[in-house]
Amino acid sequence: MAYEKAEILTGAAVLAVAIGFAVYAAQGSGLLAQPETYPLTASFRSIEGISVGSDVRLAGVKVGTVTDMTLNPATFFADAKISMRSDVLLPVDSTILVSSEGLLGGNFIEVLPGGALENLEPGAEIEDTQGAVSLITLLLKFVGGSDTPADEAPQP
């Protein structure tokens, strides 16, 4: 009889841990109690390393997500739709850029708030954008030397 009680208690403990893990995973993925959001758009020269679901951060804190990305056939820029938390109101002169977590880290969208008194309305476009900087391109510029032609170089 004691053996059956131990099995029941062990099974209940395993079940409780599994339920706790499922709730934790659902909260982390945003399936439970999603905060109120509003949409914004931005047009980037390059959003390399960004995908739907990527974080939008302000001062290192996640304040939104990328909800859609499309190529604009008229401008050949990448148009991104962003879902921002409704408690984060951005000034109209805010900047949005693609940032990296480090050399081997992933990319995310960073928001730099401006100083204007007016805030962006839902559905508005953030016009001041900066696309992704390719690490390979930077390394090639470094290895290739400066952009100054040899005949314009300072004379000793």
**What is the residue-wise DSSP string for 7-36?**
HHHHHHHHHHHHHHHHHHHHHHHT-SSPPP
For the segment 11-39, what is each residue's pLDDT rounded down to a tens digit?
889 999 999 888 887 776 666 656 688 89
Distances (CA, A) of 128 to 24, 96, 113, 122, 140: 37, 6, 11, 17, 27
pLDDT at residue 29, rounded to an integer: 66
Question: Which residue in 74, 76, 78, 73 sits closest to 41, CA to CA?
Answer: 78
pLDDT at residue 82, rounded to an integer: 92
Q: Note whether 80 and 51 are within 8 A (CB).
A: no
What distance in Å separates the CA atoms of residue 116 and residue 68, rounded to the nearest whole number?
Answer: 27
**How open is the CA angle 8-14-17, to the nearest 5 degrees?**
140
The one-character DSSP state at 144 is H
Given a cut of 70, whether residue 2 has pLDDT beyond it is: no
For the segment 49-98, what is each residue's pLDDT rounded down to a tens digit?
888 988 899 888 889 899 999 999 998 998 999 999 888 888 888 889 88
Residue with the larger pLDDT of the pair 135 and 54: 54
Residue with the larger pLDDT of the pair 147 and 5: 5
Given a cut of 70, whether residue 150 has pLDDT beyond it is: no
CA atoms within a 13 Å half-sphere pointing along the CA-CB vector of 78:
20
